[in-house]
Structure 1
Amino acid sequence: MLEYFKMIPEELVRQILMRVSYKSHSKLKKVCKNWKAMVEDPQFYEDRLRCGRSEEFICLLETVNHQFKSLPLVTIYDPINKLWEKLPTIPAEFEFCSSSKLICVKHKLVLLGLSQRNRAGSKRKRTETTKAILIFDFLSCKWRKGADMPTRECPANFGCCASPEGLIYLAGGRQNGEITGKATSQAAVYNVETNEWKLLPNMLQNQWLCDCVFIEGMMYVVCLYDEEVQQFEPETEVWSVLPNMWFIEDCMYPMVAAFGRLYCFQWDVVTEYDSRENLWRIVDGLPQPLDSVDAAVLGDRIFLSGVESGSKNHTFFYIYQLPLKTGVNRERWICVERPQYFSQSCIQSVATLVI
């Protein structure tokens, strides 16, 4: 078979391999050195994206109760084949904190706000969030430590999101990493490729319990207890305030951008933001009331995780299919099944991987 491929022009071989599912790339690496180098080249995945051959997966940062212990876990959901799998365990000196977040940028998964043991083996207080970062590269399938967050305080309850250019933005949080600490106005941006952080101008107001999202080239920072939303323009690095934009009572997460619109999931309803009138409208209902909701965009759909209202450990997963402009009638909510092993998990963060 390999001799046959040697007779085919290299560019044509490349086009063929670009159509192979990512799940089979580990097998392609074993065929020959040329294929291994091709599949491990980041440009290969850029070309897959450009020609419409990339795949989308859901990544989840979670803890699982197993034999009376809380185990840190990063899992992947394949929505096409409906398969779940675990990523390799994070290095032993790192631990998740209550404010840890997960962001996907290109072929990398980034964990922010991790606790890390010092050389003596001791651990920080459980209520403290450190600046440690871990990066999982889906090309090498290995974890590596990233540059520590450069913020002046160790943030807790901070907001973060990825820009269309693949940069990670961080905003707000609690001072000194304490959940009772004062809110902060700090902001920074991280380049995963160069492993470099840059401090940004402070926000106009202190914010905590933040959620961040990019839409139409602007980053929006929403705070649970503030009706004024802060906007950041990356090109000019200027902050501005959008007054009376956020007034969904007692609702924080999640806010996601899809098709140029903002959506929020509040207990039992789906709300959509109307920028022309600066108000939120209820556009749909959830299949059931959910607490601790998180979400990620999956093409023209939204993946949703949440805990059954009134329950502390019964997590449900749904795929919300956004109404199409063509008027095609399709099922709005699809329940996602999980293996029994994950039934007692607690989801902290959800993100979409495009590879």
Structure 2
Amino acid sequence: MNFLEELPEQIFLDILLRVPYKSQSNIKQLLKAAKEKMECPDFYQDRIKFGLAKKYICLLLSDRTSSQYNARISIYDPVDQSCKLLSRIPANANTTVYKIMNVNHKIVVLAFERLAFGRFYATPIFLIYDLLSSTWKYGAKFPSFRPNIKGFSCCASPDGTIYIAGARDREAAVYKVDEDKWELLPEMHQEMGSCRGVFIEGMFYVIGFGNNGCQRFDPSTRVWTTIINMSMPHSCSIVLYAFGQLIAYGGGGIKQYDWQGNVWRELDTKKPFHATVWCDRIFFCTSICTPGHLQFYVYKPGAASSERLISFDDEEMRFESIDTI
């Protein structure tokens, strides 16, 4: 394959840009020049720019049957229904993986190191997998405050930053992934208790349950605004923004927020526990509590109901989180 390296540089790059993600590791092992170009951040951005980056689903799985804690990420292709396991997440027995997020060419895993003095209060850590170099690293140390594992909000913004807020005091912070740096934000107007976070048109929403309302942060002005009448729907635990709509899901089914009527309307009776946007659909899973059997569905906005896509059976692995790359 050395003849490829003798091609004009732009032609060589055009060929590399068209190599599917699942085959890139093989090419990098064979060609040193290909490895150098593929591990450059501009390579990933060019694939997106020219529409060559295929959309995959990241599945965060954990093995809770063995004596040693084992968490893995699987890259799933909904088109040909194939999976590729990445290297094991470098987490110890006292670590609980919580959420997975895609930021540029990196997969960011939010995890918690459990502390002796509290079951639900722990130190958050970020474990970062670079898709270009296929390597793991720890993110910068978390700021001083410790959110409640069961109730805080965390989400990635389109500009490559991760926001965390709620569940304890009025504190909030932002993590800049590319710079590996934390920054504390101005305090929210009130304590939110249990809440969920989502980015909507450039602003970070922290949506509470019950009468807690919603806090909206504008990164351009660094100002919080209180939205009194907006709250999470009953029996829904997660929220996402897709196709211009705010969507919540969980034990209460899939619901869409009506901004004018300030009410949640039912889209589907399925009860997903994790979901992400994939192409023009919402990809979700309906079971995380029972290891060994998962049901994956896709829902297309405007459709009468969701479509079953695949069943995933593994008696040792438990599904923890999901995102799209």
Question: Same fold, TM exceeding 0.5?
Answer: yes
Partner of 1:168: 162
Where structure 1 has 5 or more consecutive residues not aligned to the other structure, the ranges are 118-122, 174-182
Q: Which runs of 4+ in 1 moved over 6 A?
A: none
User: Is 2:301 the partner of 1:302?
Assistant: no
- The Cα offsets for residues 166-192 of structure 1, whole Å up to 9 and x where unpaired, read as 11111113xxxxxxxxx3221111111
Partner of 1:150: 143
| Alpha-carbon spacing, 1:25–1:247, altered in 2? closer, same or farther (3 Å) | closer
User: Is 2:180 the partner of 1:195?
Assistant: yes
Partner of 1:245: 230
- The Cα offsets for residues 262-290 of structure 1, whole Å up to 9 and x where unpaired, read as 1112436321112233221113332xxx3
Distance 2:265 2:91 in 1: 45
Letter in 2 for 1:191: K
Letter in 1 for 2:201: E
- The Cα offsets for residues 54-90 of structure 1, whole Å up to 9 and x where unpaired, read as 1222223332233577643333322233122332122
User: Is 2:319 the partner of 1:347?
Assistant: yes
| Alpha-carbon spacing, 1:39–1:344, altered in 2? closer, same or farther (3 Å) | same
| Alpha-carbon spacing, 1:44–1:273, altered in 2? closer, same or farther (3 Å) | same
Distance 2:286 2:171 in 1: 29
Letter in 1 for 2:105: H
Letter in 2 for 1:14: L
Distance 1:314 1:115 in 2: 25
CA contact (8 A) 2:108 2:129 kept: yes
Give the superposition deviation at 1:155. Answer: 4.4
Letter in 2 for 1:138: L
Distance 1:188 1:319 in 2: 33
Distance 2:242 2:91 in 1: 37
What pairs up with 1:110-259 in 2 under 5 angstroms?
110-115=108-113, 127-153=120-146, 155-156=148-149, 157-173=151-167, 183-226=168-211, 228-246=213-231, 248-252=233-237, 254-259=238-243
Partner of 1:179: none
CA contact (8 A) 1:57 1:78 kept: yes
Q: Which has the higher contact order (CA 8 A, sep 6+)?
A: 1
TM-score, L = length of structure 1: 0.82
C-alpha RMSD over aligned residues:
2.7
Give the fraction of aligned pairs with identical amino acids, expressed as a percent: 34
Partner of 1:108: 106
| Alpha-carbon spacing, 1:87–1:38, altered in 2? closer, same or farther (3 Å) | same
Give the superposition deviation at 1:304. Answer: 1.0
Q: 1:46 aligns to what SS in structure 2?
A: helix
Distance 2:322 2:262 in 1: 27
* Structure 1 stretch displaced more, 190-199 or 50-59: 50-59
User: Is 2:237 the partner of 1:267?
Assistant: no
Distance 1:269 1:132 in 2: 31
Q: 2:193 aligns to what SS in structure 1?
A: coil
CA contact (8 A) 1:159 1:211 kept: yes
TM-score, L = length of structure 2: 0.88
CA contact (8 A) 1:307 1:314 kept: no
CA contact (8 A) 2:113 2:123 kept: yes
